[in-house]
A and B are shown apart, each in its own frame.
Chain A
Amino acid sequence: MTPLAGYLLVAALLFAIGLAGALTRRNAILVLIGIELMLNAANLNLIAFWRYGPHPEALTGMMFAIFSIAVAAAEAAVGLGLVISIHRHTKTVDLDQINRMKG
């Protein structure tokens, strides 16, 4: 197995773990944690393709990963702010109980 295939398999497994967490957990914060894991798995793919691609000196995959990290940080801040706001309105973060959008 080539090194790139190993990294891609690890990223795929991490993505699947994050997806399973996002789809099966009841706690909204844990769903966000799953989404973060999925974003990180995508970043690992980008860095691995950059390293083993034909033109690593062009820095394309590296830049993509850096911008992806910045966007993911913004997503985490807004997502957790939303969770705190929802908790203030409904006194719960259990997604099975949050079943209406009206405040």
Chain B
Amino acid sequence: MTPVFYILAALTLAGGLAAVTLRNTVHCALALTVAFAGLALLFLQLGAQFAGFAQILVYVGAVAILVVFAILLTRTSDAPETGVFSKTWLTGLVIAAAVFAVLGWAVLRTAPMLPQSSPASAVTVQQIGTALMGRYVLPLEIVALLLTAALIGAVIVAMHEKEDAK
């Protein structure tokens, strides 16, 4: 447990907490970007360079921008006067707390049995590429198909309909 881990964990959790609690939705999107960047740094801290940079490219670069676009297109940045939390917020909070209690209990209970630390294995991008083209080539093709389908689907769903088409 290095101090770097604690700093990154605090950054990520603070970003995530701000992303779900702030009133202005644009601020929420910015806090979400902080949380994504903190997670990418945690990946780098774990020695997963490729996953860390993929996280920065996909989440900080694409998903955060997409969220900001959606917020601006729906003009919901101002908090409604009825409040930002749902009518059943207490139930949701209790469920989330119960889920965290179960997960934390499971982790702390099994903590002595977890592996201590293994020698850091330097995984190069070349190894990842070889694995993607060899053992994982079928999942790679399926993901390519899924991304194409999602691209077309998102465009069709969000495309402006003609008025007489309804």
Contacts and interface: CB of A to CB of B under 8 A. Distances in A.
Contact of B154 (A17, A23, A37, A77): A77
A75 B113 CA distance: 35
A25 B46 contact: no
Interface residues of B, number: 87
Contacts of A80: 66-67, 69-70, 154, 158
Interface in B23-77: 25, 28-29, 32, 35-36, 39, 42-43, 46-48, 50-51, 54-55, 58-59, 62-63, 66-67, 69-71, 73-74, 76
A54 B154 CA distance: 40
B152 to A, nearest CB: 10
Contacts of A47: 42-43, 46, 48, 51
Interface residues of A, number: 74
Contacts of B100: 12-13, 15-16
Interface of B: 1, 5, 9, 12-13, 16-17, 19-21, 25, 28-29, 32, 35-36, 39, 42-43, 46-48, 50-51, 54-55, 58-59, 62-63, 66-67, 69-71, 73-74, 76, 80, 82-89, 91-93, 95-97, 99-100, 103-104, 107-108, 111, 114-118, 121, 123, 127-128, 131-132, 136, 139, 143, 146-147, 149-151, 153-155, 157-158, 160-161, 166
